[in-house]
Amino acid sequence: MPNSTGKTTRTEAKTDKPVESSLELAVFPLPIFLLPGGRQRLRIFEQKYLTMVAHAAKGEGFIIATQDNTKSEHLSTWGTKVTIVDFNMSDDQLLEIDVEGQNLVQLHSSHRQSDGLIKSQFHDLPHWPALDYDVPNVFTAFLVQLFRDHDSIRTLYPTPDFDSPQWICARLLEMMPIPLEKKSEFTEPASFPSLVPFLNQIITGQ
C-alpha cells in the first residue's frame, strides 16, 4: 500500500539528518491520538492484528497511525511507535493489550501484506523539548480529578507524573474531546507554548 497523505497529517520535521530505520514494523490505523508516555487499551480480534501482537510482544512494538477514517485507502504519514506493557482477556474473551507511546515517527515505504497487515519503515520525529515550562495549577487539578473519577485511567497509569508539565499537557490533549486533526497540530516540537493557552481556554473557558 503506498504511503500517501490522509486527512490527519503532521508536517514533516525539518531535521538535517533524520535518523532512518531499516526496521519495518506493523502499522495499526486507529482513530486515536497517543503521544510519547501515553497509554491506551486496545481490543484485538482480527487475525492480522493478533499476528501483529505476537511479533510486537517480542520487543519490537508496532506503530499506531492516527487517522479519522481507518477504512481510508490513505495511510497517515506519521504515527506513534508503541510497546506492549500488559495483556488482559476481556469478559467476552477478547484479547486486550495496554500499549505505551515511545516516540513519534514518520512513515515511509509502507505496503500491505497478503494478509492485509500494513508494514512500514520509519524514522523518529522530534517532539516537545524537555524545557522548564509553567502551566496553570488548574491543569494538574483537572487531570487529578479525571484520575479519581475514572478507574480505567488510573489502571492504565500506575505511576502518573503529575510533576511534569509536558506529561500533564500530553495526557490532557489525549483525553480531551478535540478533533484529531486539531490535536495533530500540537505534535510539532515548537507547539507546546501554544498548547498551554489552548488547553486553558477549554478547561476554564477563558
CATH number of residue 39's parent domain: 2.30.130.40
In angstroms, the CA 34 to CA 156 distance is 13
Do residue 30 and residue 112 come from a single domain? yes
pLDDT of residue 22: 62
pLDDT of residue 4: 36
pLDDT of residue 205: 87
The answer to the question of residue 11 being in a domain is: no
In angstroms, the CA 36 to CA 83 distance is 11
The answer to the question of residue 19 being in a domain is: no
pLDDT of residue 164: 94
Among 99, 124, 149, the domain-final residue is 124
Chunked into runs of 10 residues, the chain (206 residues) has average pLDDT values of 41 47 86 96 95 90 85 83 93 92 95 94 93 90 97 95 95 95 94 95 90
pLDDT of residue 6: 41
Among 57, 92, 124, the domain-final residue is 124
Residue 97, φ and ψ in degrees, nearest 5: -125, 145
Do residue 143 and residue 98 come from a single domain? no
> Can you read off the three cell numbers belonging to residue 43?
481490543
pLDDT of residue 15: 43
Domain count, the chain: 2
pLDDT of residue 67: 81
pTM of the model: 0.86
Query: Which residues span the domain enclosing 158?
Result: 137-204
Question: Which positions ≥6 away from 194 have C-beta within 8 Å?
Answer: 186
The answer to the question of residue 37 being in a domain is: yes
Do residue 50 and residue 114 come from a single domain? yes
